[in-house]
Amino acid sequence: MTNPLTDPRFANNRSLIASICCAAVCGIVFGLSMPLVSLRLEGMTSSGLIVGLNGAAAAFSTLVMAPIVPRLLSLVPGRVLIVVSLLCAGALHALFPVFETVPAWFVLRFVMGSFMTVVFVVSETWINQIATPMRRATILGVYGTVLSGGFGVGAFLFGQLGTSGDAGFYAGGLIFLIGALPIILLQGPAAQAPGKDEASPTAILNAARLAPAAIGAALAFGALETVLFSMAPVYGDRLLLSDAGISMVAMAAAAGALAFQIPLGWIADKTDRREALKWIATTAAITPLAIWAVGDYLPGMMLLFFIQAGVASGLYTVGLALVGERFSGGAIAAANAAFIFAYGTGSLFGPPASGIAMDGLGPHGLMIVMAMIAAIYAALVWVRAAPTDADS
């Protein structure tokens, strides 16, 4: 009887499961810690500005850390990098109630975000290197679905643990520690280290230049995802929806992010990834206008938010698969760093832009911004996918 934990035939599967476990761990802790830290900060400061800036510290850590990860991966084995990053992030998460001051929480949020960026870049590089080309987008769809599902699990844990005590902080730290076990125990092919030239900042810039459609997908998704999930409650409130209605819209969006990623990945694998990105981006540009049209009609809002969140999630899945298609070996590390950097950029600047639009144009300014973000990216991929462009 074969043992799947040691049989060489299952080595690739073990590595894939280990890397996908990284998404589960990060998703759970994100879903738990985001409301936990925000609400505790609100109680400490009564300042929405401080809460928002603390969230931006996590996004900023992505921009700082992502370009450094390929160099780290060229010096330290990928498994070691992930395990050390998970252990450090776990320790930092447990330190929030120990150092309960606003400056300390900014430092902790930034440094913890830096370690989580290492986990994302290395794990996604790892998947892209060992996934078979014919199934790459589908496997990444599983990765994205697990990440989204982790958010839901984390949100459920937050609901159970609440903010009155410190259990949520210690639980998040423990989840990070447990997340290191699959990386240690499930042995298989390791992430291929980039060479010196492949790990340089120039290589990261070149990746963005050589594959703008792939890297641009992360930029668009980062902006759309954070705008959707951070500003949709405000949108519902300004349309005078009840708290229950706002919650139902948020749940519909979360369900869309869960439901669409694997099917869109499968379609991209069976057809053409650039072609899939064209239609994903086009749909993501049209749907916000439809949301605007239905106004405060709750069933219509729920259906369209379900579609918008689901379709937008395909930008990340298929864009990341396109990275694996365009690059190979150690070069994927630099391309994936560019991908994560682009995601961080979008997530940093998307919410302020939508907030300004909502203040100036009313609630539907949010839909205008979302439509514009997706439309600009759609224009890029339609041009890059044109038959006359050999470097699409």
Candidates 179, 6, 19; CA nearest to 90 is 179
| pLDDT for 391 | 43
Report the pLDDT value the prediction gives residue 48, as an integer from 0 to 100. Answer: 65
For the chain, list the domains and their CATH numbers: 1-193 (1.20.1250.20), 197-392 (1.20.1250.20)
Tokens of 261: 């990623």
- Round to whole Å and give the CA distance between 237 and 246: 7
Task: Please say whether the beta carbons of 248 and 232 come within 8 A.
Answer: no
Using a cut of 0.85, tell me whether the model's pTM lies above it. Answer: yes
11 by Cβ neighbours in 10 Å (0-12 / 13-18 / 19+) ranks as: middle
Amino acid at 354: S
Return the number of other C-beta atoms located less than 10 Å from residue 47's C-beta. 13
Q: What is the pLDDT of residue 389?
A: 44
The tokens for 266 are 């499968």
Q: Which regions of the chain are under pLDDT 70?
A: 1-2, 48, 385-392
Q: In the chain, what is the greatest distance between 2 CA atoms, to the nearest angstrom?
A: 67
Closest listed residue to residue 216, CA positions, set 274, 258, 270: 274
What's 387's DSSP letter? T
Tokens representing 184 are 């240690």
- Give 296-319 pLDDT, tens digit per residue: 999 999 999 999 999 999 999 999
Task: Name the amino acid, one letter, at 55.
Answer: G
Give the pLDDT score at 386. Answer: 65
